[in-house]
Amino acid sequence: MRFSGLRVLKEGLTGNKGWGPHWRDPAPKPAYDIVIIGGGGHGLATAFYLAKEHGLRNVAVLEKGYLGGGNVGRNTTIVRANYYLPGNSEFYSHSLKLWEGLEQELNYNVMHSQRGVLNLFHSDGQRDAFVRRGNAMINQGDDAELLDREGVRKHLPYLDFDQARFPIYGGLLHWRGGTARHDAVAWGYARGASERGVDLIQNCEVTGIDIENGHVTGVQTSRGAIRARKVAIVTAGRSGQVAAMAGIRLPIESHILQAFVTEGLKPVIDNVVSFGMGHFYISQSDKGGLVFGGDLDFYPSYAQRGNLPTQEHVMEAAMTLMPMIGKARVLRSWGGIMDMTPDGSPIIDRSDIGGLYLDCGWCYGGFKAVPGSGFALAHLLATDRPHDSAAKLRLNRFRDGVGLMDEEGTGAQHNLH
List of residues contacting another protein (CB under 8 A) = 238-241, 244, 249-254, 298-303, 307, 309, 342, 398-399, 413-415
Q: Least distance to another protein from the beta carbon of 406, Å?
A: 13
Q: What is the DSSP letter of 325?
A: G
Total residues found in the chain within this entry: 417
Residue 243: CB minimum distance to another protein, A: 9
Q: How far is the CB of 245 from another protein (least distance, A)?
A: 13
CB of 302 to another protein, least distance (A): 4
User: What torsion, rounded to 10 degrees, do the Cα atoms 105, 107, 112, 114 define?
Assistant: 60
Shortest distance (Å) from residue 251 CB to another protein: 4
Q: Collect all residues with Cβ–Cβ distance below 8 Å to 392 and sequence separation of at least 6.
A: 86, 87, 91, 403, 405
C-beta of 40 vs 300, nearer to another protein: 300
* Closer Cβ to another protein, 186 or 242, answer by number: 242
Give the nearer residue to another protein in terms of CB position, either 54 or 313. 313
Angle, vertex CA 360, rays to CA 369 and CA 91, nearest 5: 35
361 Cβ contact list (under 8 Å, min separation 6): 239, 250, 251, 252, 339, 340, 341, 345, 346, 347
Q: If 0-12 CB within 10 Å is exposed, 13-18 middle and 19+ buried, where does residue 88 land? A: buried
Minimum CB–partner distance for residue 404 and another protein (Å)? 11
- Pick from 309, 295, 274: nearest CA to 340: 295
Spatial contact of 254 and 221, defined as CB atoms under 8 Å apart: no
Whichever of 43 and 251 has its CB closer to another protein, that residue is 251
- How far apart are the C-alpha atoms of 300 and 50, rounded to whole Å? 33
Q: By the 8 A CB rule, do 214 and 353 touch? A: yes
| Strand ranges inside 276-397, DSSP E | 280-284, 289-300, 330-340, 347-350, 356-360
What whole-number distance in Å separates Cα of residue 35 and Cα of residue 233? Answer: 9
Nearer of residues 67 and 256 to another protein, judged by Cβ: 256
Question: Closest separation between CB of residue 143 and another protein, Å?
Answer: 35
**Minimum CB distance to another protein smaller for 191 or for 238:** 238
Our CB check for another protein shows the closer of 189 and 398 to be 398
Between 283 and 301, name the residue whose CB sits nearer to another protein: 301
Least Å distance between CB 412 and another protein?
8
